[in-house]
Amino acid sequence: MKAAVLFEPNTPLQIEEVSLRKPRSREVLLRTAYAGLCHTDLHFMEAQTPYPMPVVLGHESSGIVEAVGSEVTYVKPGDHVVTCLSVFCGTCAYCTTGRPALCFNEEAKLPPGKADRLKWDRPEKVNTFMNLSSFAEAMLVHENALVKIRKDMPLDRASLIGCAVMTGYGSVVNTAKIGPGDKVAVIACGGVGMSAVSAARIAGAERVIAIDTSAEKLDIAKALGATDIVNPANGDAVEQVLELTDGGVDHALDCLGSKRTAEDAFKMLAFDGTATLVGLFKAGETIELTGADFLRERKIQGSLLGSNRFRVDMPRIIELYMQGRMDLDVFISQKIRLEDINDGFQAMREGRVLRSLIDFSAQPA
């Protein structure tokens, strides 16, 4: 099968022939239907955090089960599934206290460099990314990296839920627990931020302030339910939010992950407000906060892939989509062939797209 391989940081991905072994015990073999290009893939392509290479990236995908290992009970061939990098063991303290996204039991969630699932005709090992490696025509994953979905859910929209939508929605619903009456600011309206805007509106937030430097993205955020938009190109974002809210927001979500945006998120809080850091920081990047600002009970917290319980959350998001209450169609800027993956990442770098999806049914020209 074909897969997009990253050999070295800051080089184009290369389409290579690789293979997968047969599923063992709790493993499942999938035909990949769609895979989204996420900023996290770009983050690792640029080695902002190191990862063992060569590696088949990709971690936001949908597919159809082809074969299962002898101990798999959750899915059967033909099932439609969404993948999630939050593989859970189901038995550790995090899993059994309702926080499976924090599971790090290495029996289920293999650490970087550990998986032996991908093979090829070269002496060096080809690594699996985050237990998934979605930029490939097929995937071999633990059954606890999958959620079954209804078959009438379009697989292209479903793939988005595997990362961006789960992360944005979960940061609102699970991590920040936003509810009616809350004033919310969402910094950076990519796939994650846009999903957070949508989810905050669905959760009943009184004000949903979308913040981004792209006028087009702010237009989409408005259509998804933002009550206000703030463009930092028109003046300091913190000042604009403080003015709009007469003293700050109850929740600020930093969906970018940088010193500037995280500090801004904290600075735009009302008394007792909470900043939630959703975006992925470059390894080693630090933030500075003013101690006295904590006096009036402001808080700051992290959110890992929306503190997901994805087997529960993803079907809920799908119901919202099927009922017409959460738009996912607007996220899909373009569908591309695996061969065009580097153009897809270039479009992302230039901020031209919300999501590019690799369509694995599309044949090479």
Which of these segments, 4-12, 30-38, 61-69, 224-232, binds Zn ion (CB under 5 A)? 30-38
* Number of other residues whose CB lies within 10 A of the CB of residue 25: 11
Residue count, binding to ligand CXF (CB under 6 A): 7
The residue among 12 and 112 lying less far from ligand CXF, judged by its C-beta, is 112
**One of 280, 317, 328, 348 touching ligand CXF (CB under 6 A):** 280
- Which of 251, 249, 105 has its CA nearest to residue 174? 251
Contacted by 160, from Zn ion, ligand CXF, none: CB < 5 to 8 Å by type: none
Site string for ligand CXF, 228-267 (x = CB under 6 A): ----------------------------------------
Is residue 129 a contact partner of residue 59, using CB atoms and an 8 Å limit? Answer: yes
- Residue ranges in 70-109 that form contacts with ligand CXF under rule CB under 6 A: 85
38 sits near Zn ion (criterion: CB under 5 A): yes
Give the separation between CA 154 and CA 36, rounded to whole angstroms: 14
297: amino acid identity, one letter: E
State both tokens at 72. Answer: 């798999």
The residue among 38 and 147 lying less far from Zn ion, judged by its C-beta, is 38
Is residue 160 a contact partner of residue 38, using CB atoms and an 8 Å limit? Answer: no
Residue 190 beta carbon to ligand CXF: minimum distance, rounded to whole angstroms: 11
Give the separation between CA 293 and CA 8, rounded to whole angstroms: 43
126 sits near Zn ion (criterion: CB under 5 A): no
**One of 3, 15, 38, 208 touching ligand CXF (CB under 6 A):** 38
- Residue ranges in 148-207 that form contacts with ligand CXF under rule CB under 6 A: 163, 167
252: amino acid identity, one letter: A
- Which of 158, 133, 167, 193 has its CA nearest to residue 351? 193
| Beta strands 183-187 and 249-254, pairing class | parallel
The residue among 38 and 199 lying less far from ligand CXF, judged by its C-beta, is 38
- Residue ranges in 283-322 that form contacts with ligand CXF under rule CB under 6 A: 305
The residue among 38 and 265 lying less far from Zn ion, judged by its C-beta, is 38
Residue count, binding to Zn ion (CB under 5 A): 3
68 sits near ligand CXF (criterion: CB under 6 A): no
159 sits near Zn ion (criterion: CB under 5 A): no
Give the separation between CA 172 and CA 195, rounded to whole angstroms: 9
- Which of 88, 28, 40 has its CA nearest to residue 308? 88
Query: Angle of helix 237-245 relative to helix 259-267, nearest 10 degrees?
Result: 20
270 sits near Zn ion (criterion: CB under 5 A): no
- Which of 221, 212, 281, 214 has its CA nearest to residue 241? 212
Residue 163 beta carbon to Zn ion: minimum distance, rounded to whole angstroms: 3
37 sits near ligand CXF (criterion: CB under 6 A): no
- Which of 1, 41, 263 has its CA nearest to residue 140? 1
**One of 103, 163, 320, 336 touching Zn ion (CB under 5 A):** 163
35 sits near ligand CXF (criterion: CB under 6 A): no
Residue 148 beta carbon to ligand CXF: minimum distance, rounded to whole angstroms: 22
Residue 87 beta carbon to ligand CXF: minimum distance, rounded to whole angstroms: 11
Contacted by 305, from ligand CXF, Zn ion, none: CB < 5 to 8 Å by type: ligand CXF
Is residue 113 a contact partner of residue 13, using CB atoms and an 8 Å limit? Answer: no
Backbone angles phi, psi at 33, to 5 degrees: -95, -55
Is residue 320 a contact partner of residue 329, using CB atoms and an 8 Å limit? Answer: no
Give the separation between CA 222 and CA 186, rounded to whole angstroms: 12
Contacted by 280, from Zn ion, ligand CXF, none: CB < 5 to 8 Å by type: ligand CXF
In the complex, the residues that contact ligand CXF under the rule CB under 6 A are 38, 40, 85, 163, 167, 280, 305
Contacts with Zn ion by CB under 5 A lie at 38, 40, 163
